[in-house]
């Protein structure tokens, strides 16, 4: 198991109980995502954590696969899925590279692409797995523009309180990397603006 998976497995039970830190930003994000989803869509979500967002969005699409690096996060997600009886939702553990053969029309990832080994490679893999007109919708903390995140995260990593890797991306770099993978950006936002947390809706031409 990778070091990251061990970190996320360890904090999964606590993470599952944490309240959403900014409910208006979360609800705005969900509302924007939902506005793009069709009842016929086949969705994959990366870094889905314990599946809270998947439980909210799955009822709006045909089928939904929620994935996460951490088997511990996925196991809690599966318990929640069973408790709510959502039959078109499947939960699995793995990273983007493990799901390149999935038949999907929409790919999602929230608060995860600053944590993956190689965001650029993942954006390219997601581009490959989607059909033409397929959507890639993400939200990523763009912490590169705030100087104090670097020393803070480094100290937390030294004490095992933050995962590795953490990428310090800027809003501009995120937009550019998603475009460089081949996507057209159709909508952006900052929810919340303070982080800033970059919301991007991208379409494969």
Ligand X SMILES: C[S@@+](CC[C@H](N)C(=O)[O-])C[C@H]1O[C@@H](n2cnc3c(N)ncnc32)[C@H](O)[C@@H]1O
Q: Which residues bind ligand X (CB under 6 A)?
A: 4, 8, 46-49, 68-70, 73, 95, 110-112, 115-116
Give the CB-nearest residue to ligand X.
49
State which residue, 150 or 184, has the beta carbon closest to ligand X.
Answer: 150
State which residue, 39 or 116, has the beta carbon closest to ligand X.
Answer: 116
Considering only CA atoms, which of 191, 91, 70 is closest in space to residue 141? Answer: 191
- Using DSSP, state whether 92 is helix, strand or coil: strand
Beta strands, E only, the chain:
42-46, 63-68, 89-93, 106-110, 135-141, 184-190, 197-203
Output the smallest distance, CB 173 to ligand X, in A: 18
CA–CA distance, 144 with 148 (Å, rounded to integer): 9
Q: Specify the DSSP element, H or E, that contains 82.
A: helix 71-84
Output the smallest distance, CB 4 to ligand X, in A: 5
Residue 203 DSSP code: E
State which residue, 22 or 88, has the beta carbon closest to ligand X.
Answer: 22
- Using DSSP, state whether 200 is helix, strand or coil: strand
Half-sphere exposure of 73 (CA within 13 A, CB side): 25
Output the smallest distance, CB 44 to ligand X, in A: 11
State which residue, 17 or 39, has the beta carbon closest to ligand X.
Answer: 17
Output the smallest distance, CB 29 to ligand X, in A: 9
Question: Which residues contact residue 200 at a Cβ distance below 8 angstroms, ignoring those fewer than 6 apart?
Answer: 136, 137, 138, 139, 140, 174, 175, 178, 185, 187, 188
State which residue, 46 or 183, has the beta carbon closest to ligand X.
Answer: 46
Output the smallest distance, CB 204 to ligand X, in A: 21
* Tokens (6 digits) for 87: 């039959």
State which residue, 2 or 184, has the beta carbon closest to ligand X.
Answer: 2
Output the smallest distance, CB 155 to ligand X, in A: 18
Considering only CA atoms, which of 94, 102, 35 is closest in space to residue 64? Answer: 102
């Amino acid at each position: 198991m990778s070091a990251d998976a061990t970190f996320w497995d360890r904090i999964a039970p606590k993470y599952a109980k944490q309240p959403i830190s900014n409910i208006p930003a979360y609800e705005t994000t969900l509302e924007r995502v939902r506005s793009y989803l069709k009842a016929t869509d086949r969705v994959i979500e990366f870094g889905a954590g314990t599946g809270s967002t998947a439980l909210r969005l799955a009822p709006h699409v045909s089928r939904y696969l929620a994935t996460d690096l951490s088997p511990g996060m996925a196991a809690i997600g599966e318990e929640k899925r069973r408790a709510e009886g959502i039959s078109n939702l499947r939960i699995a553990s793995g990273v983007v590279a493990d799901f390149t053969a999935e038949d999907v029309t929409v790919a999602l990832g929230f608060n995860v692409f600053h944590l993956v080994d190689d965001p650029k490679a993942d954006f390219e893999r997601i581009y490959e797995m989607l059909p033409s007109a397929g959507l890639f919708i993400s939200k990523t903390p763009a912490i590169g523009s705030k100087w104090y995140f670097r020393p803070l995260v480094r100290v937390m990593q030294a004490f095992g309180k933050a995962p590795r890797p953490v990428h310090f991306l800027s809003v501009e770099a995120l937009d550019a990397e998603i475009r460089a993978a081949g996507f057209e950006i159709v909508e952006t936002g900052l929810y919340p603006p303070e982080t800033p947390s970059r919301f991007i809706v991208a379409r494969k031409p």
